[in-house]
Amino acid sequence: MVISGKTRVCGVIGDPIAHTLSPTIQNAAFNHLKLDFVFLAFRVKPADLENAIRGMRGLGIHGLNVTMPHKSAVIKYLDQLDSTVQFLGSANTILNRDGKLFGFNTDGIGALKALQENGVALYDKKVLLLGAGGAAKAIAFAFAEEIGELVILNRAAEKAAELAAALNRVFGTKIVGGALSQSAVQQNLQDADILVNATSVGMHPNVNQSLVPAQWLKPDLAVMDIVYNPVETKLAKDAKAAGAKVISGVEMLIHQGAASFEIWTGCPAPVEVMRQAALSQLSSAGAEK
Ligand code: ATR
């Protein structure tokens, strides 16, 4: 990589940020396409968020990813929000176009692409979504148009009900929300086509946890877990053993990053290069543990 006087700067802001995969993934893509871009990670504490966005304007930083805990707070500092950001109330991507800051959220499209690119169609299917936090909301919004039925189950049942009601105001009445009880999971899995874990359950160090008992998984189910550390969660292992199709959280991560890359560069993202970069960083991080 050669840094020149014309190199465009992109980055990610969050706190904590030290373990982000985004610089590895995005710089691999810039290098592969020989684009004069560089991508850095910036630790930005909540009290410094406004200054960070002023800095983006002042320094002419071309693009940013925004991660925890700034995705919602950042939107008040942006000039224009796309319809997804307006619904979600959170942005994960900013584009600086001639000094005007545009906000996008690529989390949902990342999940949608992860399924589609791995041969899982959503049209008219029944999706069981576990979780009602920021990631679940983005996924539900991206899936809602195409799917036949969406059931959202969350530990805090009222959050699932609120999310379902908000989605139904936009998309009609095919979305229900309720409590994440074992019986609700079991019952909904009987006729679900796609199961998505959009909770943090199963994430390192709780690698032996799963919200779905293995015996309820079946071969005609597609299972996507948003957790990517470990790359193969307990849910993913159980689903594989049951003969189900499994889409790992790495797929959502790279497709979400690919969508941000395309917003910043206008070039089709080299997804395979990004996938290999993510997997190699994850396997070397795993080796350090
Ligand atoms: P994100 O932006 O990654 O979605 P979040 O908004 O904090 O993060 O949401 C975390 C999700 O994981 C929520 O749906 C949360 O459930 P609650 O709303 O009931 O807190 C879910 N979650 C986290 N730990 C969980 C656990 N041990 N069991 C079940 N759900 C859990």
Q: 155, 162, 182: which to mutate for ligand 1, most atoms within 8 A of CB?
A: 155
Tens of pLDDT along 147-190?
A: 999 999 999 999 999 999 999 999 988 899 999 999 999 999 99
At 143, list the tokens.
Answer: 């899936």
Cβ(199) to ligand 1 under 6 A? yes
Torsion, CA 265, CA 42, CA 271, CA 103, rounded to 10: -50
Q: What is the DSSP letter of 7?
A: P
Class of domain 108-247 as given by CATH: alpha beta
Residue 137 a catalytic site member: no
In whole angstroms, give the CA distance from residue 155 to residue 118.
29
Tens of pLDDT along 20-46?
A: 999 999 999 999 999 999 999 999 999
The atom of ligand 1 lying closest to the CA of 71 is 2
Per-residue pLDDT at 286 exceeds 90:
no
Per-residue pLDDT at 288 exceeds 80:
no
Q: Is the peptide bond before 219 cis (omega within 30 degrees of 0)?
A: no
Per-residue pLDDT at 269 exceeds 80:
yes
> Which pairs count as long-range contacts for 267-274, CB under 8 Å and 24+ apart, including other chains?
267/33, 267/35, 269/29, 270/29, 270/32, 270/33, 271/117, 273/28, 273/29, 273/32, 274/25, 274/26, 274/28, 274/29
Residues of the chain with CATH 3.40.50.10860: 8-105+252-284
End-to-end CA distance of the chain: 29
Cβ(161) to ligand 1 under 6 A? no
Cβ(134) to ligand 1 under 6 A? yes
Residues of the chain with CATH 3.40.50.720: 108-247
Cα 57 to averaged position of ligand 1 atoms, centre (Å): 34
Mean pLDDT of 106-121: 97
Q: Looking at the whole model, is its pTM more than 0.85?
A: yes
Give percent of the chain with pLDDT exceeding 70: 99
Per-residue pLDDT at 287 exceeds 80:
no
Task: Kindly name the residue from 34, 71, 100, 125 that is annotated as catalytic.
Answer: 71
The atom of ligand 1 lying closest to the CA of 130 is 14
Cα 198 to averaged position of ligand 1 atoms, centre (Å): 8
Cα 43 to averaged position of ligand 1 atoms, centre (Å): 23
Question: What architecture is the 8-105+252-284 domain classified under in CATH?
Answer: 3-Layer(aba) Sandwich (3.40)
Mean pLDDT of 79-102: 98
In whole angstroms, give the CA distance from residue 122 to residue 220.
14
Cα 215 to averaged position of ligand 1 atoms, centre (Å): 23
The atom of ligand 1 lying closest to the CA of 156 is 19
More confident residue, 288 or 210: 210
